[in-house]
Amino acid sequence: MDNIAIRECRYEDLDDILLLHKQWFKDDITYGFTPADRSYLNSKLGRYFLVAEVNSKVIGFVYGTIHKAKNMAVMEDGELYIEIDDIYTLSNYRGKGIGSLLLDKVLEVSKQNGIERSLIYSSTKDMDSIINFYRKHNYKTWYIQMFK
């Protein structure tokens, strides 16, 4: 796909991100998803909040939060890691590698800041696809929670 740019999200992008959150809600692809509000998104602005643009149109985003591990079976206490809070692309851009570009870039930025580890959870309604997506990025399953 041509003309894809991955860059840090700016305050001026928040209207577009709010619209993407509303579209995510309409997509009905995630259990319990509620669109974020402006103040929450504003609090996430910084080096770990990236957008994907195609021809100057924001079509996806990722943002994460830095944490310090404590009592985790998969990381040493005190180890810093980035938790990917949300990652989304508009439906007509899915399957084109944009989610991978967003994820790779936010992990690259965190690595440049000395953070090697990352964690993600998902409540997607298409668990098989999301597991395949993250396995392509070398994630391993830590635990699973299911319902009936």
- The answer regarding whether domain 4-136 maps to CATH 3.40.630.30 reads yes
User: What pLDDT digit, counting tens, does each position of 69-117 carry?
Assistant: 999 999 999 999 999 999 999 999 999 999 999 999 999 999 999 999 9
Please state, in angstroms and rounded to a whole number, the distance separating the CA atoms of residues 98 and 95: 8
User: What pLDDT digit, counting tens, does each position of 24-63 carry?
Assistant: 999 999 999 999 999 999 999 999 999 999 999 999 999 9
Which pTM was predicted? 0.94
pLDDT band at 2 (very low <50, low <70, confident <90, very high): low
DSSP string, 46-94: STTEEEEEETTEEEEEEEEEEEE--S-TTS-TT-EEEEEEEEEE-GGGT
Stated length of the chain: 148
pLDDT band at 145 (very low <50, low <70, confident <90, very high): confident
Please state, in angstroms and rounded to a whole number, the distance separating the CA atoms of residues 125 and 148: 13
